[in-house]
Amino acid sequence: MLTDVAHALPWVLLFSVPVVVVGWLVLRWLRRTSLTGSMAVLVLIPTLATTAGITGATGLMFSEDLYRTLLVAAVVTVITVPAALALGRWQARRTVWDREARDSERAAERSRRELVAWVSHDLRTPLAGIRAMTEALADGVVSEPAEVAQYARQIEQESVRLTAMVDDLFEMSKISAGALVLTMGEVALPELAEEAVAAIRAQAVRKGVQLSSEPGPAGARVRGSDPELTRVLVNLLSNAVRHTPPDGSVLVSSGVDEGGAWLRVDDGCGGIPADELPRVFELAYRGSAARTPVSDGSPAGAGLGLAIAAGLVRAHDGEITVHNQGAGCRFEVRLPVLG
């Protein structure tokens, strides 16, 4: 018995080791290209190596026993390889999901840190101004009626600014928590555009920016929540006016095509650097100074406007995009047409 084993062992090694070596080389080649293929090869290596070793041990004598062994190996291969492929696909998807989840978590954490930093600064500035002005009024440093009235107006303006920031934070928290409740109904996009333009008109006049709307077709109707869609467009227009220099123009338009209903805001901001375009709708992201600086004295905002607009659009099963066009940018909102 031992003599037979000693005689067969070199043949087993001679036939099975090359199979293992080739399988190892294939695994090295596949490890960075296909997880599914790697799983299949891992299953095939021991099966093929065993089959080759048995074939070598028999001295290539294709007896009845060898045929039975090869048949068993073939059946095992037919069963295990598809299972390995299925397991490989599942593991590949899971790996991708885990990586995307980690990337998303890191991006969210980065956005939260940026948001805390920006909001802390933006809240501190008006609060410090309000405190200084109220102390001046209380100490009698300012006593002339005209000066008192001016201080009162400034305090009111700062209070309005703080209220708007708190409202934005509350809205963003609802969107992030999935607690947004929409009252859906039929919304006509041309009328929505006119309402948003009217709401931003005063800001555009102060900045010296020409704000206009291009009438869309009456059939541009979607199912949505009028207040939230109005806020989307108001946020986009406010952002466009803020970054468009004086004597520039901002145009809002609406329409319908084979892809659905759309709203567009074209501005004259000078464009956004290509590497910043993918982050425009991130929470608290403000971009670099490459865009036209704000010159009308209005605050830069907490970096929530575009993030809120994107969240509200997604809540309507829509899509919001931005790209450079001409002397500025085009923000486009796409929504399903009312069926």
Residues 187 and 328 in one domain: yes
> Amino acid letter at 22?
V
How confident is the model over 148-160, as pLDDT tens digits? 888 888 888 888 8
Residues 67 and 201 in one domain: no
pLDDT of residue 319: 94
**C-alpha torsion angle, residues 117, 123, 124, 130 (rounded to 10):** 170
| 113 inside domain | no
Domain boundary among 99, 114, 141: 99
- Judge whether 304 and 169 are in contact, CB under 8 Å: yes
Residues 205 and 307 in one domain: yes
Residues 184 and 331 in one domain: yes
Residues 192 and 331 in one domain: yes
How confident is the model over 236-245, as pLDDT tens digits? 999 999 999 9
pLDDT band, residue 165 (cuts 50/70/90): confident
Mean residue pLDDT across the chain: 78
| 51 inside domain | yes
- Judge whether 246 and 207 are in contact, CB under 8 Å: yes
Show the domain range for 224: 180-335
Residues 185 and 328 in one domain: yes
pLDDT band, residue 295 (cuts 50/70/90): very low
pTM: 0.60
| 132 inside domain | no
pLDDT of residue 62: 60
Domain boundary among 62, 83, 99: 99
Residues 187 and 313 in one domain: yes
Measured between alpha carbons, how far is residue 159 from residues 202, 204, 294, 331 in Å?
A: 19, 21, 21, 30
CB atoms within 10 A of CB 236: 27
- Judge whether 331 and 241 are in contact, CB under 8 Å: no
Residues 287 and 196 in one domain: yes
Residues 190 and 326 in one domain: yes
More confident residue, 286 or 204: 204
State how beta strands 249-257 and 210-214 pair: parallel
Residues 192 and 330 in one domain: yes
| 155 inside domain | no
How confident is the model over 40-49, as pLDDT tens digits? 666 676 776 6
CA 258-265-318 angle, 5° bins: 45
Residues 75 and 216 in one domain: no
| 141 inside domain | no
Contacts of 268 by beta carbon, 8 Å cutoff, 6+ apart: 209, 244, 245, 248, 249, 250, 292, 327, 328
Residues 185 and 331 in one domain: yes
| 302 inside domain | yes
- Number of compact structural domains in the chain: 2
| 125 inside domain | no
| 291 inside domain | yes
Domain boundary among 77, 99, 121: 99
pLDDT band, residue 121 (cuts 50/70/90): low
